[in-house]
Amino acid sequence: MIRYLTAGESHGHALVGIVEGVPAGLPISADYIDHQLRRRQQGYGRGGRMRIEADNVEIVSGVRFGKTIGSPIALIIRNRDSQAWKEKMAVESDGEEVEMVTIPRPGHADFAGSTKYGFDDIRNAIERASARETAMRVACCTIVRKMLEEFGIFIGSHVLSIGTAKISDRGAVDRMIGKYTKASCGAYKITEEADKSQVRMLAKPVESKAVALIKSAKKLGDTLGGVFEVIATGAPIGLGSYVHYDRKLDGLLAQALMSIQAVKGVEIGSGFLNAEKFGSQVHDAYGLSHGKIVRLSNRAGGLEGGVTNGETIVLRGAMKPISTLARPLPSVDLKTKRVVKARYERSDVCAVPACSVIAEAVITPALANAFLEKYGGDSMAEIRKRYSKDRNR
Ligand SMILES: Cc1cc2nc3c(=O)[nH]c(=O)nc-3n(C[C@H](O)[C@H](O)[C@H](O)COP(=O)(O)O)c2cc1C
């Protein structure tokens, strides 16, 4: 089974990751991972840091001559602006010269985190709670994604809304998605199309509205959130299980999405819309096409009973607006106990496009583990044999 851990502070020396359980014989390169890291840094509304950081991963172990060798894969991404933070983030000095952060930002982990760990300096909480960590998550998960792709499972995403700029003609977008997913790279074609938009939206007029909204939020010293959709094609029937709560793939995918910083809502298929309708308007009827069982719709989003049902997997995530505001909300200085304005530090105005890219990555371990549970082996060759035997049955 695949597991991964990341380490590293936002302005520390580097981010570090270890991925364990990746089968031997998977072709992978730093370039392949870097492409996904670059995608994570895009999107209209990002802050200044994205111009400083051009993330590159270094593969330290677990890969030889371009292929995994079954041992743990260690990765490093160096933080390019760490020089400027050398004193503030020193590992060994006593830090006496460094000014402490004592004013928490509403919506961030500042107060809850520093109270939990007993910090006088909120910086200790800020540094690890920051979504900078997702760079390493994307790097680790891109290796897992590559494994899924080798078995024809492709993942894509796009943004449905930013603030009030929403895709209202869902039918048109669904038709587009239906066409894209027929490409040889399945749902990844959605990603390629969405990447052409600066806010990763598939509808041009909504894109312009979203960009204008982000511009005006920035002017007002405010921020925006939104909703994104992640789609996976090619997953065979029978991944996950209904037998235990912790084997239900819908629950595991929801957890993965919810673990992304600032994601506060998750939906599987048309979950929330379905709740307003009669069962007869919701459930995906069966039919026959050339002797094969087919579904006449996919409102369940490809999962029934915590198990993949052979349809496209459709997940959505709602990201709250960024909590660091240039025009800050009231806060309390924890040192002086006076009501003051919250602190501002360099920040994004909107990171929904980036969040959708992160979401594509972080669902892969859940999906891959369900796949390996059914078809797993120590090497890609072994898994391939098991998978093709099952497919040809
Ligand atoms: C891609 C991405 C970029 C983010 N950028 C910022 C940012 O620049 N400033 C900020 O205050 N929060 C940012 N966040 C959100 C915070 O990391 C998050 O709100 C914080 O860690 C508290 O966690 P919670 O919102 O999950 O409760 C970002 C989140 C993501 C996914």
This prediction has a pTM of: 0.97
Interhelix angle for 352-362 vs 364-375, to 10°? 20
**pLDDT at residue 50, rounded to an integer:** 60
Question: What are the pLDDT digits (tens) for 106-140?
Answer: 999 999 999 999 999 999 999 999 999 999 999 99
> What letter represents residue 191's amino acid?
T
Burial (0-12, 13-18, 19+ Cβ within 10 Å), 24: middle
Is the minimum distance from the CB of 267 to ligand 1 under 6 angstroms? no
Q: Which two tokens stand for residue 77?
A: 């991404």
295 to each of 28, 180, 277, how far by Cα in Å?
Answer: 36, 19, 19
Q: Give the residues of the chain that fall short of pLDDT 70.
A: 48-53, 393
Question: What are the pLDDT digits (tens) for 167-214?
Answer: 988 899 999 999 999 999 999 999 999 999 999 999 999 999 999 999
Is the minimum distance from the CB of 262 to ligand 1 under 6 angstroms? yes
Is the minimum distance from the CB of 362 to ligand 1 under 6 angstroms? no
- The Cα 267–Cα 54 span in angstroms is 32
Q: Which two tokens stand for residue 147?
A: 């494994």
**pLDDT at residue 51, rounded to an integer:** 61
Is the minimum distance from the CB of 348 to ligand 1 under 6 angstroms? yes
- The Cα 153–Cα 233 span in angstroms is 6
**pLDDT at residue 346, rounded to an integer:** 84
Q: Which two tokens stand for residue 330?
A: 């009231």
**pLDDT at residue 345, rounded to an integer:** 85
**pLDDT at residue 49, rounded to an integer:** 60
**pLDDT at residue 392, rounded to an integer:** 75
From ligand 1's centre to the CA of 347, what distance in Å?
A: 9
**pLDDT at residue 169, rounded to an integer:** 87
Contact in structure between 55 and 81 (CB atoms under 8 Å): no
Residue 40 CA: nearest ligand 1 atom is 1
Substitution candidate for ligand 1 out of 263, 348, 362 with most atoms within 8 A of CB: 348
**pLDDT at residue 280, rounded to an integer:** 98
Contact in structure between 172 and 238 (CB atoms under 8 Å): no
> What letter represents residue 143's amino acid?
I
Q: Which residues pair with 302 in a beta bridge?
A: none
